Structure 1
C-alpha cells in the first residue's frame, strides 16, 4: 500500500474504527465503537510541547495563542477544541495507533481521565521560561512538568505509589519542544537573545536546560521517552512571507540544525546515564524534507501556502475567526502560517510510529512500546 493510501485509510478509520474507549491505568483495556475489545500497547501517554500538539490548554488563558474557534477543527469530530489544525495533531494519531483514546488536555482532565494520560502542551511555550512572552500567557515546559507532578499526586492517591511507579515505567512520554525558542524568542526583534548567543551557543543553552528538564521527568518515574526534533522552520508560510521569491530560508533552516544535532546527542547521552530509560528521537526535519521532496507522491500539491487563508506573501499568523478555508485540505501541507494540516499530522504520526530509522531513531514508537 502506498503512503498516501495509508494516510487516507488512517483518516477514515478515525470515524469508522475505534472511537470510544474504556481504559483503566494499568489495565490497558480499550473497547471500540463496534464492541471489539483490544489491549492498548502502553498504560498511558503523557504529552509535553507547544502549539503543534496543544489540544486546548490555552483555551482559558489570557493568551493570544488560541485555536478554539472555527475554522480550526473544521474536520475534527466535535469542532474546534484548541488544536492548531483542521483536525488531528500528530500525537492524536500516535495515541490511536497505541490503542489509547485521544488524550485530554490538562486544563480539562480530571478523575479517571488522567489514568490513560494527559496532554500538557501549550501554544507559544518553550524550553526557556521567557519564550513566547509576546503572546502574554502560555505554559512553559518547566510549568508543564509541575502540572504533571500534580496529576501524578492525583493518580497516586487513587492507585497507590507502587502501582503507579510500575505503570509510569511502561507509559510513553512524548516531548516536542524547541520551535518557539527560535520563532518566539531568538528570531523576535523584541528579544535581545541573539545579541548574547550565536546559533551554536543558543543551541547549547537550550539543550543543557532540556536535558535537565527530561531528567526531572525521569526522576518522577518516566522511563520511555519520545523526543521530537524541530522541522524545516525556514519553509513555513510565516517565514516564506518574509522572502521575496517564496523559497525556503536556508538561513533559518541552518539556524536550528545545531539544536537538532545537540538533541540527538542528548538522547544518546541520556540513554547511557539514566538506568532503565529508553529514548527515541523523531526526526521531524527529515520527515519534512522527505515530504517536500516527494510531495506529489504523497498527494500534496500546495507546499508554500496555508489552507486557512495564508498566502505565501501574507504576514497573517493564525486563521481569522470564521474564515473560510480552502475546500480540499488534503492537498495542502500547511493549515495556517505555522502548523501542518491534519493530512500531514496523520502521515508523520505513522512515520513516527512504525517508520524507518531515517525518521525514528534508534527505535520506532511501536518498538519502544514493546520494550
Structure 2
C-alpha cells in the first residue's frame, strides 16, 4: 500500500494562528484574487467542505446556542501556537488534510463560513490582514503521503469555504440535539455563497468555479451515534432509507448548483469509540453502531453510483474510512499506535466521561492514541485515514481516490 508509512509523523508544531473575521464577501475576494485567472486550466481552483465535527474548523464558535465547541484547551495543543481553533483534534483535522490533498503542503482548511461575518460589516482592511494576497502555488501533484509540515509562522488557509458544523446530522431532528447546523442549513449557506458570486463575478464564472472545485462531505456519523446511544426503536432499514433519501436530496441540490466533483466520506468504524464503549456495561464496542454504519455506507455507495449514471458530468470518490478506521483499531501495532480504547484527553472511564477541557487528563504520547477525545481521532490517526483514501487503491476509495478526483 503506497500510502502506508511505518515511521511516525512528527507533531504539527506550535505556531501562531491568524485571526479571520470578515463577512462572506471575503470569499469573492479570495476567488477573484487567486482562482479566476486560471479557472480554465486549474485542477481545483477552490475546495468546499460540508459536514460534521470531523471537518468543523470553528463554525460552532459562532453559534451561541450550540453545545459542541472546541474553543478551549486542550483542544489544539498541537495546532499553531497551541491554539484551540474549534477543531475537535489535538492539531489538524480531516478538513486540513483534505486541503493538502487539493493544494499541496503548507495549507489548512478554508475558513469557516460563519467567520466571514464580522458584525454584519465588511472591511477591506480586515480582508487584507486576514488573507495573504501574494499568489500561492496553484497546484502541486500529490505525493504518496504527506511531508512534515512546513515551518511557517502562521496558519495558511486554502481557497474556498468550510461550512461544517460539529453535531451536524442528515436529519434536522438529530442536528437539534447539539443545536448544530443541519446539512439542510449548510446547503442554504452554499446557495448564499453561490448567489453572491453570481452577482459579483457573473453566473458563468461561478458555474465554472463550482464545476471545477471539489465538494467534500462527511455527514451521517451523528445519525448513527444517536440511533445507537438512544436505543432508537425505529426499524434500522427504514431509518437508513430515510438517511439515504436526505443524502440524495443534499447531493442533488449541490449538483443543481453546478457542483460536479464530490468527495464523500463514509461513516467510520464508530462503534468502538470511547463514547460508545463507556455507554455499554462491559465496555465493549457497540455492534449496533458499527452494523448501522456499514449498512448506511453500503446504500450510500449504491446511491452515488446511481446518481452518476443519470447525472451528466458528475464525478465522485467514495472514501471508505470505515475500513481504514477498523484496521487502525484491529492492528494498531502496524501504525505504532498503542492505545485504541481510551481518549487521550478526558476524564473517567476510558477518559470518556467528559469531553476534553482544561481540567481533563491529557496523555503525553498523543501520536500513540487512536482517539483524541471521546469520539474524534487524533491528528496522527486522521492523517493516516486521509492518506489512505487520498492516495490508496480501490479498497479505500472508489471508483477513484481523492488525489485523482481533485486533478480531474
Within a 5 Å distance, the mapping from 1:186-205 to structure 2 comes to 186-189=227-230, 194-195=232-233, 197-205=234-242
Residues 56 and 95 in structure 2, CA contact (< 8 A), matched pair in contact too: no
Q: Which residue, out of 369, 394, 397, partners 1:360?
A: 397
Q: Deviations over 1:224-247 (max 9, x none)?
A: 001111111211001111234433
Q: Which residue, out of 1, 21, 25, partners 2:35?
A: 25
Cα distance in 2 for partners of 1:87, 1:109 equals 22
Aligned residue pairs, count:
350
Within a 5 Å distance, the mapping from 1:253-268 to structure 2 comes to 253-268=290-305
Q: What TM-score do you get using the length of structure 2 for normalisation?
A: 0.79
* Deviation for aligned residue 1:310: 4.5
What is the alpha-carbon root mean square deviation over aligned residues? 2.7
Q: Residue in 2 aligned with 1:35?
A: none
Q: Residue in 1 aligned with 2:19?
A: none
Q: Residue in 2 aligned with 1:84?
A: 88
* Deviation for aligned residue 1:160: 1.6
SS in 2 for 1:146: helix
Q: Residue in 2 aligned with 1:275?
A: 312
Residues 226 and 365 in structure 1, CA contact (< 8 A), matched pair in contact too: yes
* Deviation for aligned residue 1:337: 0.6
Cα distance in 1 for partners of 2:13, 2:358 equals 29
SS in 2 for 1:303: strand
Q: Residue in 2 aligned with 1:105?
A: 112
2:53 is equivalent to residue 51 of structure 1? yes
Which of 279-288 and 250-259 deviates more?
250-259
Gap regions ≥5 residues in structure 2: 16-29, 132-156
Cα distance in 2 for partners of 1:245, 1:40 equals 53
Q: Deviations over 1:150-192 (max 9, x none)?
A: 11222223322111111211100001110111223x2354x9x
Residues 305 and 311 in structure 1, CA contact (< 8 A), matched pair in contact too: no
Which of 242-251 and 261-270 deviates more?
242-251
- Label 1:203 to 1:338 Cα distance change in 2 as closer, same or farther (>3 A): same
* Deviation for aligned residue 1:312: 4.5
Residues 109 and 118 in structure 1, CA contact (< 8 A), matched pair in contact too: no
Q: Deviations over 1:17-50 (max 9, x none)?
A: xxxx996123469xxxxxxxxx974111111101
Q: Residue in 2 aligned with 1:121?
A: 164
* Deviation for aligned residue 1:250: 2.2
Cα distance in 2 for partners of 1:115, 1:255 equals 34
- Label 1:263 to 1:298 Cα distance change in 2 as closer, same or farther (>3 A): same
Q: Residue in 2 aligned with 1:349?
A: 386
SS in 2 for 1:98: helix
Cα distance in 2 for partners of 1:40, 1:238 equals 42
Gap regions ≥5 residues in structure 1: 16-20, 30-38
Cα distance in 2 for partners of 1:355, 1:181 equals 28
2:212 is equivalent to residue 170 of structure 1? yes
- Label 1:317 to 1:204 Cα distance change in 2 as closer, same or farther (>3 A): farther
Residues 173 and 225 in structure 1, CA contact (< 8 A), matched pair in contact too: yes
Cα distance in 2 for partners of 1:182, 1:84 equals 19
Within a 5 Å distance, the mapping from 1:1-371 to structure 2 comes to 3-5=4-6, 8=9, 24-27=34-37, 41-61=43-63, 62-78=65-81, 79-99=83-103, 101-102=107-108, 103-109=110-116, 116-135=159-178, 137-184=179-226, 186-189=227-230, 194-195=232-233, 197-310=234-347, 312-313=349-350, 315-371=352-408
Residues 207 and 258 in structure 2, CA contact (< 8 A), matched pair in contact too: yes
Bigger relative contact order, structure 1 or 2 (CA pairs below 8 A, ≥6 apart): 2
Q: What TM-score do you get using the length of structure 1 for normalisation?
A: 0.87
